[in-house]
Amino acid sequence: MIINKIKVKEIITKSNLPVCDYSVNPYVGCQHACKYCYACFMKRFTGHNDDWGTFVDVKYWDKIKNPQKYNGKELFLCSVTDPYQPCEEEYQRTKILLEELKGSGAKLSISTKSDLILRDLELIKSFPNARVSWSINTLDEDFKNDMDKGVSIERRFNAMKIFHDAGVRTTCFISPIFPGITDVKAIIEMAEDKCNLIWLENLNLRGTFKPVIISYIKQTRPELYPLYDEIYNKGSNLYWQELDADLQKFASEKGLEYKTNDDSFLKPFEAKPVIVNYFYHSKIKKSAKKS
C-alpha cells in the first residue's frame, strides 16, 4: 500500500449530490480496493498512475475556523473514499474532523464498510440526527473477499446493531446488487432488527471496472454470464423489473414499507425499517410509482 501525506486547502467542499450540502473526504483512494468501486474515476483528477486500491493520500488541513457555518447543513462522509478504512486507525483524520465539528450543529451522514467506526460512537452520537450506513451485498464471506478487502459481513452487521441499539439512525445499504448472486431477501431478514432504513442499489457497470467484473463472472460463475451479457451488453432491464416486483411483494408480506424515493430519512423512523429502491432505471421507477 502506497501512503502519502498531503496538505489541502479545504476538507469540506460544496456538493452537487442531492442528499447533502457538503461532501467530506479525509483520504484520496481506499484500502478496501472494491472491484466495483465507481470512485476509481478520481485517478483522472489526482494524477495517480497506480491501480485503484493500492494507494491512499492522507489529507491534512488547517483547523476549521468557523464550524458553526455548517449548522443545519448536511455533510456526507464520504463520497469517494471510506472514512474508516484501515489507515484511519493510525492517522485518525476522520476522528479529528469530527472533533473539530463537534457542537457545530452540522448533520452527519456517514457511509462505511468498517467497524472501526465503533471507536467514534459517542462522538457521532453528539451530532443531531446522525446517520450511518454500512454497505453489504452478500452473506457469502468468500464472495465478499473476492470483491473487497473490508471487514467481514459479520463484523459489519455487529457494528450496525450496536449503533442502532445506541439510538443512531442506521442504514443497511444493499449495494451493489449482483444479479444472480446477491440474496437481497436474506440480507433484509438479517438486517431487519439492526437498522432503520434498507437501501437497494443495482450493480452499474461502467468505466474501467466493467471488464473486471465481466471477466470475474466468466471465470467463476460462467452459468451467469448470459444474464450479465443480457443486462450489461444488450441493455435489458427485465431482471431489475422482476426483482423490483418480487421485492415489493416480499416487503408487503413482511409488513415493511417499500418506497421508490429518498424522503424516508427526513421522517421519524418506524419500529420496522423502510426499504427504499434506488435502482437507476427510469422505467422501473415509473412502474413502481404507478403500482
- Per residue in 153-190, pLDDT (tens digit) is 999 999 999 999 999 999 999 999 999 999 999 999 99
Give the chain's domain count.
2
Q: Which residue, 101, 120, 139, sits at the end of a domain?
A: 120
Instruction: State yes or no: pLDDT of 279 exceeds 50.
Output: yes
Q: Which residue, 54, 85, 120, sits at the end of a domain?
A: 120
pLDDT band, very low/low/confident/very high, at 53 (cuts 50, 70, 90): confident
What are the tens digits of pLDDT across the range 194-209?
999 999 999 998 777 8
Percentage of the chain surpassing pLDDT 70?
Answer: 90
Asked if 19 and 74 touch (Cβ cutoff 8 Å), the reply is yes
Q: Is residue 107 part of a domain?
A: yes
Q: Which of 207, 174, 194, 196 is nearest to 279 (CA)?
A: 174
Residues 192 and 163 in one domain: yes
What are the tens digits of pLDDT across the range 15-28?
887 778 999 999 99
Q: Is residue 46 part of a domain?
A: yes
Residues 88 and 180 in one domain: no
Domain of residue 90 covers 1-120
Residues 103 and 150 in one domain: no
Instruction: State yes or no: pLDDT of 284 exceeds 80.
Output: no
Residues 137 and 189 in one domain: yes
Q: Which residue, 120, 154, 184, sits at the end of a domain?
A: 120
Residues 110 and 166 in one domain: no
Distances (CA, A) of 117 to 156, 219, 276, 282: 10, 35, 24, 35
pLDDT of residue 121: 98
pLDDT of residue 80: 87
* Strand (E) or helix (H) holding 224: none
* Rounded CA separation 194/165 (Å): 8
Instruction: State yes or no: pLDDT of 13 exceeds 70.
Output: yes
pLDDT of residue 287: 43
Alpha helices in the chain (DSSP H): 43-46, 88-91, 93-101, 121-125, 141-147, 153-165, 184-191, 210-220, 225-228, 238-254, 282-290
Residues 178 and 259 in one domain: yes
Name the β-bridge partners of 77: 24, 110
pLDDT of residue 263: 55
What's this model's pTM, rounded to 2 decimal places?
Answer: 0.90
Q: Which of 47, 58, 49, 108 is nearest to 85 (CA)?
A: 58
Mean pLDDT within 208-217: 92
Q: Is residue 156 part of a domain?
A: yes
